[in-house]
Each structure stands twice: as C-alpha cells, then as structure tokens.
Structure 1
Amino acid sequence: MQNKVAESSSTLPTACVLTTILWFLPQATYSLEYLKGWVICGITTYIIIETSAKQALLRVRSRIISSLFLLLMAVSVFLHPFSTSSICQLCLIISISYVLRTYEHPKPEVHTLHTYLFIALGSLFWAPMLLLSPVILWNQGIFLRSLSWKGLGAALIGLLTPYFLWATVLAGLSIFSFFSEPCSEAALFSSAAFAPLLRHATAVIAPFYEPFDWQWNMESHRIETAAFGFTLLLNLTGFIHYLRKSYDDKIRVRMCHYTFLTLQVILLAWLVVQPAHFMDLYPLWLLCVVPAAGHFIALSRTWLSNAWFIILSILLITLGLLPSFT
C-alpha cells in the first residue's frame, strides 16, 4: 500500500487539495494572513519538488517528500497564518538546495555564496537562524566535500551581505537625518543610528543566555505538542530506516540525505533544549524530517513497514481532526 501511495501520480494533487481545505475551511472567512502563509507554503513545496528531483533523493519516480511536507503543514494549524517562521523555512530550503549543488561541482563558490546569503536573509527575520551556518558549513566540508578557502570566503560574503546592506541603509538614514534636522556632529556618528543592527546582533546569541529554556506549557499547547509527537515519530522512523538502508543509494544521494539528517538532529536537540522557540524551530525541523521519512515510505517494502505506514496514516488523520475537538 505504501509504495502505491508513494509512486502514484495523484498523491501530490491530493495532498495539495487536502492542504488547501485544511488551511482555509476552519477559518470560514477570508484572511489575508492565511493566504500569505498558504502562498509561502506553496513556494516552499515547489522548491522541495525541484530539489528532490535534481538531487534524485528517491530511486523511484515519486512526489512523496513534497506531499508529506504539505500534509504535515496542513495538520500543523498553528503554522497556517503568515509569520516570520514561514520566511525562515523558505530561506532554509533555498539554502539547502544551493549547498547540495556544490557536491562535485568544479566551481562551487557561487552556490556557496547563495547558500549562506539565504541563511543570512532568514536570520533577518529570526536572528538565531544564523547559528545554523556552522552546521551547514560542517556538512559542506565533511559530506559534500566542496569546502575550500575560496568557499569560506564566499560563505563569509554571503553571510555579511544582508547585514552590510542593512548597515548602509541605516548610515544613509543617519546622514539624511543629520542634514535635514539640526543636530550635533556627534549624533551623526553615534551608535544610536545603528541601534537596530546592534540589537539584532545581540539577538543572534540570545539562546546562549538561557541554554535550558523549558518555559513551555504543554497543557495550553496541545495541538503543537501533538504535532511535535507525530513529527518525532516520523523523524525516528526516517532516521533509523536511512541509516540501515543508505548503502543502496549512490554516494551523491547519500551525502545529500546525510546533510538533511545532520540538520534534523541539531534542530531536534535545539527544540528539546529550548521549546520556548518552538514556533521558530519546528518549521525548520519539519522541513528536514520529510526527506528521510519520504525515503522510508517510497522504498521500504516489508509487511512491517506497511503496517507502520498505516498506523502513521491513522495518526496523521487524527492530528488533522484534532483542532475540531479542542
């Protein structure tokens, strides 16, 4: 059953329809915030499709990875309104799509620059996202084997470019204010003009101030907790499956999956240690869970895996209906 679902050409259209229904039907009224969230989700799904196809993450023709992402987003109703986490999720998948292209590329510096440029762009919306750059850098050096001194320079340029442009805008506003309003010369060169940038830089390392931030009330976040539990099951299923069956894939595909798995582990650990950042971390973690989980659904062919797929499907349907009973 699971292989038929994974290889069916109707799986992705069905997932799109179900996601749209679950996205808008409970609202009963038009909401621009939900529409913007739906559009961003659609763009993210398209990039997942392109990345999966270009890197051949599955050995069979299947859209199960993108379909699984859509269904997880559909049942995670707390992610439906547009928020900064939607932008961060989009930036992360774009960044991953670029870093995977660096594998065995004769000149990977351009892709490297784009990889870290989008990490930096995402960090403009949620500053601690910048902390993922060392993880991606490690993946690029260990698994993708595309890191060099030129690559490090390209990564640094990519990370600094958005902040350089931001600082330039702030400096321009400061100069404009200096000439348009009477003020002292010292005010032009004071740190007050760059206060937003300085506050943002401080926010990047904010998670280190409270390394164990467990201020999370499960009773008041039942849907979030249920979504986390289901995604954790998918995480463990995909992770264990891929470690057991990775030898069947080509080396290139294996390195791509290992990149996702590494991010998956880091984001899960971060989420467990600091659940107060759930709304920012969960979408990023969800994104990294679906490739290995999709690999399990598409390529495992035992009666046990089929039974587990049916159980997961029942749990997913239950999770989708849960908001109606809360």
Structure 2
Amino acid sequence: MRNKRRQERFALSRFALPVTVIYGALATLAAGVIEQELWLQTAALFAATMMMVFLNNRYSLIRVYSRMVSCSYLVLMTMACFLFPSIHGAIIELAFIAACMFLFNAYQNPRGSGAVFYAFAMIGISSIFFVQILYYVPLLWFVLSTNILALSTRTIAASIIGLIIPYWFVAGYYASLGNLQPFIDHFCDLAKFGKLFDYSMINSHQTVTFIFIALLGITGIIHFLRNSYNDKIKTRMLYESFIAFEIATIVFIILQPQHFDFLLRILIISTAALIGHFITLTHTWITNIAFHLIIVITLLITAYNLWMPSLTF
C-alpha cells in the first residue's frame, strides 16, 4: 500500500475543517474583529462556510469524502481580510451561495419552478445592495439551460418573479415615504458604466489577492477539464456552472474594477469549488509541491493584507 502524501492526508482528513475554522477564527481576530466590532460580518463568514459544506455534501461536488471546498472558501475569504468590514458584501456572499444551492436543486427538472424562484430571489436580494449583480441574470439563464437542464417557460417565469419579489417590498417602503426617486436611481445605476480598465482605485493588496485567486481558479479549471471524465455527468454539469461563474467574474473585475470588493466574493465562491476539487483529487509529487506552495503563498498574502492601514495595524 502506497504512503499517502501530506496533500492527500490533509484533503481527506476529518480534522481539516475544524483546523481551518480555528485558523479562520485566529485570522479574523488578527484583522480586528473585536476592535471594530465586526460580529455580524464574522458570523456571516462562518455561516457561509457551513453553507459551502452543505453545498458540497448535498450535490457531491467531490466524489470522495473531503472538506476541501469549504476549507478553501474559508481560507481564501480570510486571506482577503480587507473585505471583512462590509455587511452588504456579507449578505451578497450568503445570497449567492444560497442561489447556487437552489439552482442546483432544479437539475434536470423543467418543472422545478420553486427551486428556480428561490435561486433568483437570492439574486434579487443581492441586487438591492449591489445592483450590478443583475448582469449575471443572462448567464444564470444560460446555465439553467445548458448545465442545469431545467429551462422552460415555467422556470423562466419563476426566475423573473423571483427577481421582482424583493423589490415589491423595497418599492412599498419608498412609496410609504412618498419618495420613489431613490428606487428609480437604483436601477439607473445599471446603465452607468465606469471607465474600462480603470485600476486607479485598486491598491496593491487587492491586486495581489485577485491575481492569486484567479490563478487558483484557472488551475482548478484546467485540472477539471482534463479529468472530468472521472466524475458523474451531474457533477460535470455543476462544475461547468462554476467555471462559467469563474470566467464571467474574472472578466467583470478586469473590465469594471470599481466593483472589485463585491465581485471578489463571488470569485472566491467559484474558485473554492474548483481548487477544492484539484487539491482533493490529484496525487502526484508535482501537485503535492503545488499544494505546499498554495499554502505558503496564501499565508504570505494573508499576512500582507493584515498589515493594511485600514485594519488593525
């Protein structure tokens, strides 16, 4: 019987998630969660991690027992510690994970209007805080058709109603105030495009973090495309959805970097699924070295980001 490399032992360990949670807790403390009273944001972070656990288990994203999807998510989110203060960002990440959960539940079910409704309702809720997430709607319809295999008149109608439902409450609120202008202005922002490739508002911490996460995602994509024949058809379809989200989000960030902080959260979700698959299901000495390099670089970037003036230090 061959000796398992450290990469494989960690990827398959039942202690991987508890150890990662402890690491995440220490990282949030170092980022100033107590000093800045970021209790809701921290709770949302760990709630999102548990949702990633459920997403992995419910849809068998990895064909063996592993917590690498949720561990990767938590490690990458704590690495991007400059995202911590935003409660709106926390809501968006929770809602996007929930949207994926509901969307995947509609797999091969053209009558799965309930699941599709809830998936798009999550996107609608997210759009209250980040209206540009509505740009993902055509992509979600495309995924619903080509990967979820559930596009029908019924599910299209359910998706539209799901998107609209949150705004019924928002419109009612502004109507009660007798001022609908903020409601109208909110949607006008969809037509406002910032200057393309304007990176003047992006600092070195954000740049380094984005490049590393994008490289991890691309690594995961290449690995999956080369080895997807080992997975079930449903798993392949779901991972192709993550690949679509990954590529679209990278392009979105490159074109419109003013939305960086919100988009990076979405990128981390898809990257976690892709790199988790890579870490768990590769067993060569080269990938073992890559695993250790990923850990070292992640720790270095985390330390680098913790020294931002806007955080504890």
Partner of 2:262: 280
Gaps of 5+ in 1: 175-192
Q: Secondary structure at the match of 1:30?
A: coil
Partner of 2:13: 8
Residue 155 to residue 211, structure 1, CA distance change in 2 (3 Å): farther
Residue type of the partner of 2:191?
I
- Output the CA distance in 2 between the equivalents of 1:127 and 1:199: 11
User: 1:149-203, CA deviations, whole angstroms, 9 ceiling, x for partnerless residues?
Assistant: 01111011001111122222323333xxxxxxxxxxxxxxxxxx21011001111
Structure 1 ranges of 4+ moved more than 4 A? none
Identity of paired residues, percent?
24
Partner of 1:184: none
- Output the CA distance in 1 between the equivalents of 2:59 and 2:224: 16
Structure richer in helix, relative to its length? 1
- TM-score, with length taken from structure 1: 0.89
Partner of 2:190: 204
Partner of 1:94: 98
1:215 paired to 2:220:
no
Equivalent residues of 1:6, 1:63 under 8 A apart: yes
Partner of 1:42: 46
Partner of 2:304: 322
Equivalent residues of 1:213, 1:276 under 8 A apart: no
Residue type of the partner of 1:49?
V
1:51-62 aligned within 5 A: 51-62=55-66
- Output the CA distance in 1 between the equivalents of 2:128 and 2:101: 20
Residue type of the partner of 1:7?
L
- Output the CA distance in 2 between the equivalents of 1:31 and 1:52: 32
The one of 20, 24, 31 equivalent to 2:25 is 20
1:261 paired to 2:243:
yes
- Output the CA distance in 1 between the equivalents of 2:200 and 2:180: 33
1:167 paired to 2:171:
yes
Partner of 1:31: 36
- Output the CA distance in 1 between the equivalents of 2:34 and 2:87: 19
Residue type of the partner of 1:225?
T
Partner of 1:237: 219
Partner of 1:188: none
- Output the CA distance in 1 between the equivalents of 2:220 and 2:154: 35
- Output the CA distance in 2 between the equivalents of 1:119 and 1:84: 13
Gaps of 5+ in 2: 1-5, 309-313
1:125 paired to 2:110:
no
- Output the CA distance in 1 between the equivalents of 2:116 and 2:157: 9
Partner of 1:154: 158
Residue type of the partner of 1:46?
M
Residue type of the partner of 2:56?
S
Partner of 2:69: 65
* Higher RCO, 1 vs 2 (CA within 8 Å, ≥6 residues apart): 2
Residue type of the partner of 2:220?
G
- Bigger mean CA offset, 113-122 vs 127-136: 127-136
- Bigger mean CA offset, 252-261 vs 158-167: 158-167
Which of structures 1 and 2 has the bigger CA Rg? Answer: 1
- Bigger mean CA offset, 148-157 vs 299-308: 299-308
- Output the CA distance in 2 between the equivalents of 1:195 and 1:323: 39
Residue 324 to residue 114, structure 1, CA distance change in 2 (3 Å): closer
- Output the CA distance in 1 between the equivalents of 2:190 and 2:98: 21
- Output the CA distance in 2 between the equivalents of 1:230 and 1:17: 23
- Output the CA distance in 1 between the equivalents of 2:295 and 2:47: 25
Residue type of the partner of 1:259?
S
- Output the CA distance in 1 between the equivalents of 2:153 and 2:305: 51
Equivalent residues of 1:11, 1:63 under 8 A apart: yes
Partner of 1:78: 82
Q: Secondary structure at the match of 1:27?
A: coil
- Output the CA distance in 1 between the equivalents of 2:90 and 2:195: 24
Residue 109 to residue 26, structure 1, CA distance change in 2 (3 Å): closer
